[in-house]
Amino acid sequence: MVDSSALAGWVELEGCFNFRDLGSYTNATGQRMRGGQVFRADGLQRLSERDLDHLCDEIGLGSVIDLRSSDEVTADGRGGIGQRLPIHHVPLFDRAHSGGAQVGGDWIKPEQLSHMGELYWLMLQAAREPIVQVVELIAQADSPVVFHCAAGKDRTGVISSVLLSLLDVPLETIIADYAFSRKNIDAINERLAQSEPYNKMMEAMPKDVYDADPAAMTHFLAKVEAEEGSMEGWAANAGIDEAMRSRLRERLLI
């Protein structure tokens, strides 16, 4: 299994609790992901000026992919990063309330989901087009990019699992990367409790939404394998062709 040394990719910030570099992983053929190119994160709207200087001037962040819903963006804003960097808004969930959540064009009710792994599977199916768009944006970027949602573990976790799978990163590494969100999970949940749109979304989720249990990602990846043969199989059916995968490998693997 991947041990805590992989947390070396963690970026300590004042206004963000789950910002980390995906460049610390080795794939199945021994290639290493290039550091400082792709980051995953929770909400960025409370970044301090010191945080922004670090990300923009020292790390050289070039763009942001915001996976949050339109309601979340309207209520919680984007903060100072919206004045510093271009933002691509690619929502995976677009609306939610106590009766369910809209994923892509489908409404999903809480009683349909036994745990978060089932939600991730439904998201992969219903939000196929925006997920492919995010992968394409990462592949085409010519500078470091961060993709984020509110907690940095669910929508962001699905994108991370797709991206890492397409780079041939082992399943156990993908699962461990997902579970690293537990490091600051209490602080993340405390902040999210202050967001009305996110609280409405949480009402439509399974009870384990407040955790980053590796069992959820394990279930999700097993479901992908059972239904699609592999994440690569899903990607091919979704429209991620070999040219895009080749660009990802060229950009992100050493």
170-181 tens-digit pLDDT = 999 999 999 999
- Write down all domains in the chain, each with its CATH number in brackets: 4-252 (3.90.190.10)
Cβ contact 181:210 at 8 Å: no
Residue, of 102 and 164, whose pLDDT is higher: 164
Helix axes 128-140, 116-126, angle to 10 degrees: 80
Average pLDDT of the segment spanning 96-112 = 59
Which amino acid does the sequence have at 119? L
- At 19 the three-state DSSP class reads coil
Collect all residues with Cβ–Cβ distance below 8 Å to 124 and sequence separation of at least 6. Answer: 131, 158, 162, 220, 224, 234
Q: What angle do CA 88, 90, 92 make, to 5 degrees?
A: 160
| pTM recorded for the entire structure | 0.92
| CA atoms of 244 and 228, how far apart (whole Å) | 19
14-35 tens-digit pLDDT = 999 999 999 989 999 999 999 9
Cβ contact 33:253 at 8 Å: yes
H-type helices in the chain, by residue range?
49-53, 70-76, 81-84, 116-126, 128-140, 155-166, 171-179, 185-192, 196-203, 214-228, 231-238, 242-252
Q: What angle do CA 177, 55, 23 make, to 5 degrees?
A: 30
Residue, of 98 and 61, whose pLDDT is higher: 61
Cα 35 from chain centre: 17
Give the mean pLDDT of the chain. Answer: 90
Whether the pLDDT of residue 163 is over 80: the answer is yes
Whether the pLDDT of residue 123 is over 80: the answer is yes
